[in-house]
Amino acid sequence: MIPIEFRAISDALSSEEGERIAIRGWVYRKREFKDKIFLVIRDSSGIIQCLARKDNQKAFEEARKATIESSVEVEGCIKKDPRAPGGCELKVDELKIVGLAAPFPITKSAVDASSDFLLDVRHLWIRSRRMTAILKVRDTVFRSIHDFFRSRGFYEVQAPMFVTAAVEGGASLFKVDYFGRRDVYLTQSSQFYLEVLIYSLERVYTIAPSFRAEKSRTRRHLTEFWHAEAEAAWMDLNELMRLEEDLICHIVSTVLSERAEELGLLGRNVKALELVEPPFPRLAYDEAIEILQEKGFDIQWGDDLGSDEERALTMDFEKPVFIYGYPEKCKAFYHKPDPSRPEITLSADLLAPEGYGEIIGGGERIENLDVLLDKIKKFGLDPKDYEWYLDLRRYGTVPHSGFGLGTDRLVMWICGLQHIREAVPFPRDIRKVYP
Ligand code: NSS
């Protein structure tokens, strides 16, 4: 229909008074009067109010037919109007319905009624301005992770999703029927493959799904999540924590500068994010236990920290906080014992502030073959399942460290969301695998 080029709505909003433009998108809102119809059209860049008047019979009729979520093409002239969203309005000359929408199931009352309903219609809810804002922040988070690692000399690598042994304990393994062969699982973490790859590339990272058969439904667990993992030869725990700190600061500052509008739309208190600057406080696990006991938690040295404990700890801090030196039994077998205190490990978790809790787990790995073999046995695992992993300690072993960042939890915290499900386009948990 339209001979002139289509513009993004964000671009159309900055046009001159009287300028003739064409846009395309979806009907977001509609208000009908006797002699005029307001259609608010959205595209991926924003929303614009379009006004169809009765004196243009053809356009008016099309506007009348256009239902919420119909896809349309519109041509007209820009008029500045401070009452309209974005400060201008498009006076419709021509309007074409490209795809007429059936009555849209997501109405205002449906949104208020139940979040389960919105999960069932996630394929439609994804169009909401809220989800669109979250997805844009998520895009910036992923992009800035890539930018950060590249700028630090890390190579991007890919690890398999079908694996034959547990990284993070057998309880949360998903077994797969792999041509009837036993003991094939979905990966819980790419870590062991990244450890292989440091022997050629030294510094590697990947962003990939990880799978955990999490049987409980919590606000911060998914069965499939996106894991940004890094591994570096010759790196110790202190360097690792500095790397993590720099990564998080880079991501947060990029989101603050590129996604201010989206954070505003989500109602995020950006002041809290502006405080995220190095250095992050570092708290020994021993001190964390003392603080928790003082706060009245029934917790003993040796217990792992759950979400309630992490929430209580992070409430005292404005920045993300490292908890380091977890006891051996709180951490997976590959964590290196602290030479000066073998009952604890050279590990550190990073907890996001404002009650969000753990977003990163990492530390130094055992590089000595015998120590690793003993640990595997002590944890009740079968060394046969870890033959190739043990080989890395036989052929030119090297001190090394790495970490895994849960990107969905990170997005949840940055956006200030109540539930991790909101941070992911198509969340998977014990109940949800559809749509
Ligand atoms: O289990 S972790 O603490 N550590 C690892 O998997 C290491 N193998 C990573 C590594 O060193 N390469 O998980 C790391 C992070 C954790 O801090 C969370 O942010 C996230 O992965 N994570 C999850 N996010 C969402 N849902 C679930 N179930 C989940 N489990 C871990």
- Asked if residue 184 and residue 51 are part of one domain, the reply reads no
- Asked if residue 172 and residue 60 are part of one domain, the reply reads no
- Asked if residue 129 and residue 38 are part of one domain, the reply reads no
Average pLDDT of span 231-260: 98
DSSP string over 214-275: --S--TT--SEEEEEEEEEET--HHHHHHHHHHHHHHHHHHHHHH-HHHHHHTT--HHHHHT
- Asked if residue 63 and residue 130 are part of one domain, the reply reads no
Please report where in the chains the tokens 């792999």 appear, as a residue: 178
Cβ 408 under 6 angstroms from ligand 1:
yes
Identify whether 19 is part of a domain: yes
Helices (H), 66-114: 108-113
Query: Distance (Å, rounded) from C-alpha 328 to C-alpha 427?
Result: 32
Cβ 244 under 6 angstroms from ligand 1:
no
pLDDT > 70: percent of the chain: 99
- Asked if residue 163 and residue 211 are part of one domain, the reply reads yes
Domain at 61, CATH number: 2.40.50.140
Helix axes 407-415, 129-151, angle to 10 degrees: 120
Cβ 403 under 6 angstroms from ligand 1:
yes
Cβ 189 under 6 angstroms from ligand 1:
yes
- Asked if residue 127 and residue 90 are part of one domain, the reply reads no
Q: How many CB atoms lie within 10 A of CB 71?
A: 17
Cβ 413 under 6 angstroms from ligand 1:
no
- Expressed in angstroms and rounded, the spacing between residue 406 Cα and the centre of ligand 1 is 6
Q: Which atom of ligand 1 lies at the shortest distance from residue 405's CA?
A: 15
Bridge partners of 49, per DSSP, are: 40, 89
Q: Does the pLDDT of residue 110 top 80, yes or no?
A: no
Among 149, 173, 189, 408, say which to mutate for ligand 1: greatest number of ligand atoms within 8 Å of CB.
189
Q: Give kind and range of the element (H or E) at residue 414.
A: helix 407-415
Identify whether 137 is part of a domain: yes
- Expressed in angstroms and rounded, the spacing between residue 404 Cα and the centre of ligand 1 is 6
Q: Does the pLDDT of residue 242 top 90, yes or no?
A: yes
- Asked if residue 132 and residue 90 are part of one domain, the reply reads no
Q: Which atom of ligand 1 lies at the shortest distance from residue 363's CA?
A: 11
Cβ 402 under 6 angstroms from ligand 1:
yes
pLDDT in tens, 83-105: 999 999 999 999 999 999 999 99
Domain at 396, CATH number: 3.30.930.10
Q: Does the pLDDT of residue 181 top 90, yes or no?
A: no
pLDDT in tens, 330-363: 999 999 999 999 999 999 999 999 999 999 999 9
- Asked if residue 184 and residue 63 are part of one domain, the reply reads no
Residue type, 11: D
Q: Does the pLDDT of residue 1 top 70, yes or no?
A: no
- Asked if residue 182 and residue 66 are part of one domain, the reply reads no
- Asked if residue 345 and residue 233 are part of one domain, the reply reads yes
Average pLDDT of span 22-31: 98
Bridge partners of 80, per DSSP, are: 88
Cβ 333 under 6 angstroms from ligand 1:
no
Q: Of all protein residues, whose CA lies closest to atom 22 belonging to ligand 1? A: 406
Q: Which atom of ligand 1 lies at the shortest distance from residue 410's CA?
A: 19
pLDDT in tens, 294-306: 999 999 999 999 9
φ, ψ dihedrals at 75, nearest 5°: -125, 145
pLDDT > 90: percent of the chain: 94
- Asked if residue 204 and residue 145 are part of one domain, the reply reads yes
Query: Distance (Å, rounded) from C-alpha 156 to C-alpha 142?
Result: 13
- Expressed in angstroms and rounded, the spacing between residue 409 Cα and the centre of ligand 1 is 10
- Tell me the average pLDDT of the chain: 96
Per the structure, the count of domains in the chain is 2
In contact, 401 and 231? CB cutoff 8 Å:
yes
Identify whether 77 is part of a domain: yes
Among 157, 193, 197, 210, say which to mutate for ligand 1: greatest number of ligand atoms within 8 Å of CB.
210
* SS3 assignment, position 1: coil
Identify whether 54 is part of a domain: yes
**pLDDT: is 208 or 182 the higher one?**
208
* SS3 assignment, position 82: coil
Q: Of all protein residues, whose CA lies closest to atom 17 belonging to ligand 1? A: 360
Which strands form 174-175's sheet, in the order they lie side by side? Answer: 162-163, 185-186, 174-175
Query: 112: pLDDT confidence band, cut at 50, 70 and 90?
Result: confident
Average pLDDT of span 246-251: 98
Domain range enclosing 406: 122-423
pLDDT in tens, 55-79: 999 999 999 999 999 999 999 999 9
Predicted local distance difference test score (pLDDT) of residue 3 = 62
